[in-house]
Amino acid sequence: MACARLRSIQLIAMNSFKIRNFSSAKPPPEKKGLLLGAYTGEKDGEVIFTNAAKGIDNECEGKLAQFIDVAGPGLKQGKCRVFYKLHKNHDIIAVVGLGKKSLTYNEMEDIDEKKEAVRIAAATGCRYLQDAGVTQIYLENLGEPQCAAEGANLGLWFYQGTKSPESQVYIPQVIPFEGQSEEWNKGEILSDAQNLARMLMDTPANLMTPTIFAENAASVLDDLGVVVVVHDKKWAESKKMGSFLSVARGSDEPPLFLEISYSGGKPSEKPIALVGKGITFDSGGISLKPGAGMAEMRGDMGGAACIVGALTAIAKLKIPVNIVALIPLTENMPSGKATKPGDVVTAMNGKTICVDNTDAEGRLILADALCYADTFNPAVTVDLATLTGAMGVCLGSAATGIFSNSTPLCNIMSKAGAVTGDRVWRLPIYKDYTSLMTSYKSVDINNLGKDKVAGSCKAAAFLKEFAPKENWIHMDIAGVMGPSDWHPYLQKGMMGRPTRTLVEFVSQLPGSNAFSA
């Protein structure tokens, strides 16, 4: 079945300001604040103002510099000072540390430290002003307009969709002090995209079922000219998606399969295939998870959420590519109808799979989605999935683990992560791991594999049996799912990562040596 909206949407307000904030809180009395930046000088305690801060300091006859000096020593990177009644037009002025002006790409950290410092500074300063009751924050561009907009909007947002309106925290409006620019607008678009993914992931599972997820995706993307087709269980049966449907058997919520098309390139160009894991709640099935922390499994559709968020940005930025996004949606639940450990199912490509553990379900739904992706003859295929707890053990939340059969594509993805601050790190898919998954006498492949080692690598090796033979990247985003309260500019909750990195990757593909459309 194809549908634009399955029933009324209440979780997403469609105007741009509400998309940025997802808050129904009543605005408090208007209060304006100004956020400026300052660099760390070479001398101990030296503070060097940005051009905007210099201008304000001149207008208040040097009092801003004097007050910072009194508050000293200096102004460290990521730290903030707030001052009152210094300027006739700004009741509250915050100055935030940007670190040294010479910051650039750090090879050891694999990140553009200047851009990341601006994101952190914008988020930190905006939160200080929010705590001071500011409703309108005038933010200077801090030398990187896009990053300033990203940091501010990402840093202020947190999920509060299930609180009563009167209990919600008001999220201030962020206004560019020097005026709108193309870079600032891009930063707003990218932060909106990630915040959308965060909202989808953090919404409780009873309010974000496969059907409701499909509603939200259609509601957001339809207005951007992106075509959303929602396939039902009968369609999946007709495609012989036995692997995907085996996961859905235990739930009373009907499974759905989203097929989303964005046509920004030439009609003759091959599409980029994006495949996202859409488990809207993962109990583990018959192989039941421990109760502690199970509520976090509302975010197990992080891959699907990031793709929907990324598509909003790709469409708004009019990136010249064609995309087909494929999202299998279901819950993984125990019941008398559920798949049992040891059951054997058949995937779309005819391979038989022994379901050794029903909590290794993400790879089962991705298997059929990847097979279907191959029918579009894509130029590049990228799948995103909160796939293995082992990835969190391996990399923590510092980076997304990626696996690929294309080094050029990995290099582009790595560069994208360095630019966005949301990094990736490549891991291997050796034949050793494939052997651990496929060396069985009675079936083609096992969903858990032999030996309790290399869980993330074995999962990637499983997917490789169903993925296109060329130009494929698997992104295991389990470690960056959340909830986490350590991130320098994201508040605690589901993180919506790596939405911005995916957009940057897609934008870098046209004209690259790794992309042949």
**CB distance 406 to 512 below 8 Å:** no
Please report the pLDDT score of residue 20 as a whole number.
52
3-state secondary structure of 198: helix
What's the Cα-to-Cα distance from 84 to each of 37, 41, 64, 130, rounded to whole Å? 16, 25, 10, 14
Enumerate residues 6+ apart whose C-beta is below 8 A from 103: 113, 114, 117
Strands annotated E in 129-226: 136-139, 173-176
Q: Is 26 one of the catalytic residues?
A: no
* Claim to verify: residue 235 and residue 379 sit in the same structural domain: yes
* Claim to verify: residue 199 and residue 278 sit in the same structural domain: yes
> What's the CA gap between 390 and 381, in Å, rounded?
23
**What residues are paired with 36 via a beta bridge?**
95
* Claim to verify: residue 302 and residue 444 sit in the same structural domain: yes
Range of the structural domain that residue 325 is part of: 195-508
* Claim to verify: residue 210 and residue 244 sit in the same structural domain: yes
* Claim to verify: residue 43 and residue 158 sit in the same structural domain: yes
Residue 26 located in a structural domain: no
* Claim to verify: residue 168 and residue 208 sit in the same structural domain: no
Residue 463 located in a structural domain: yes
> What's the CA gap between 406 and 501, in Å, rounded?
18
* Claim to verify: residue 349 and residue 441 sit in the same structural domain: yes
**What residues are paired with 175 via a beta bridge?**
138
Residue 424 located in a structural domain: yes
Please report the pLDDT score of residue 73 as a whole number.
82
- Token representation of residue 500: 């911005």
* Claim to verify: residue 172 and residue 203 sit in the same structural domain: no
3-state secondary structure of 383: strand
Going by their DSSP bridges, the two strands 343-346 and 472-476 should be labelled as unpaired
Of the residues 149, 176, 203, which one is the last residue of a structural domain?
176
Structure confidence by residue, pLDDT tens digits, 403-443: 999 999 999 999 999 999 999 999 999 999 999 999 999 99
Q: What are phi and psi of 122, to 5 degrees?
A: -65, -45
Residue 304 located in a structural domain: yes
Residues, the chain: 517
Residue 11 located in a structural domain: no
The CATH number covering residue 395 comes to: 3.40.630.10
Please report the pLDDT score of residue 71 as a whole number.
85
Of the residues 176, 208, 237, which one is the last residue of a structural domain?
176
| Nearest-10 Cα torsion for 161, 162, 165, 166 | -130
Residue 22 located in a structural domain: no
Count of structural domains within the chain: 2
Residue 269 located in a structural domain: yes
Please report the pLDDT score of residue 512 as a whole number.
80
Give the up-direction half-sphere exposure of residue 382: CA atoms within 13 A in the CB hemisphere.
Answer: 29
* Claim to verify: residue 135 and residue 271 sit in the same structural domain: no
User: What stretch of H or E contains 83?
Assistant: strand 80-87
Can you say whether residue 449 is alpha, beta or left, with left for phi > 0 and alpha for psi between -120 and 50 degrees?
left
Please report the pLDDT score of residue 21 as a whole number.
56
> What's the CA gap between 247 and 496, in Å, rounded?
24
Is the pTM for the entire model greater than 0.85?
yes
The CATH number covering residue 113 comes to: 3.40.220.10
> What's the CA gap between 216 and 10, in Å, rounded?
9
3-state secondary structure of 273: strand
Residue 20 located in a structural domain: no
Q: Is 363 one of the catalytic residues?
A: yes
Please report the pLDDT score of residue 435 as a whole number.
98
The active-site residue out of 32, 79, 239, 289 is 289
Question: Which residue in 473, 471, 497 sits closest to 483, CA to CA?
Answer: 497
Of the residues 141, 176, 211, which one is the last residue of a structural domain?
176
* Claim to verify: residue 391 and residue 251 sit in the same structural domain: yes
Please report the pLDDT score of residue 511 as a whole number.
82
- Token representation of residue 281: 């709640």
* Claim to verify: residue 166 and residue 220 sit in the same structural domain: no
* Claim to verify: residue 282 and residue 329 sit in the same structural domain: yes
Return the ∠ at Cα 97 (arms to 417 and 20), rounded to 5°.
Answer: 55
The active-site residue out of 316, 363, 415, 458 is 363
Please report the pLDDT score of residue 22 as a whole number.
60
> What's the CA gap between 255 and 247, in Å, rounded?
9
> What's the CA gap between 509 and 517, in Å, rounded?
10
Please report the pLDDT score of residue 8 as a whole number.
32
Per-residue pLDDT tens listing for the chain (517 residues): 444 334 333 344 333 334 455 666 778 889 999 999 999 998 888 999 999 999 999 999 999 999 998 887 889 999 999 999 999 889 899 999 999 999 999 999 999 999 999 999 999 999 999 999 999 999 999 999 999 999 999 999 999 999 999 999 999 999 999 999 999 999 999 999 999 999 999 999 999 999 999 999 999 999 999 999 999 999 999 999 999 999 999 999 999 999 999 999 999 999 999 999 999 999 999 999 999 999 999 999 999 999 999 999 999 999 999 999 999 999 999 999 999 999 999 999 999 999 999 999 999 999 999 999 999 999 999 999 999 999 999 999 999 999 999 999 999 999 999 999 999 999 999 999 999 999 999 999 999 999 999 999 999 999 999 999 999 999 999 999 999 878 999 999 999 999 999 999 999 999 887 776 6
Please report the pLDDT score of residue 25 as a whole number.
77
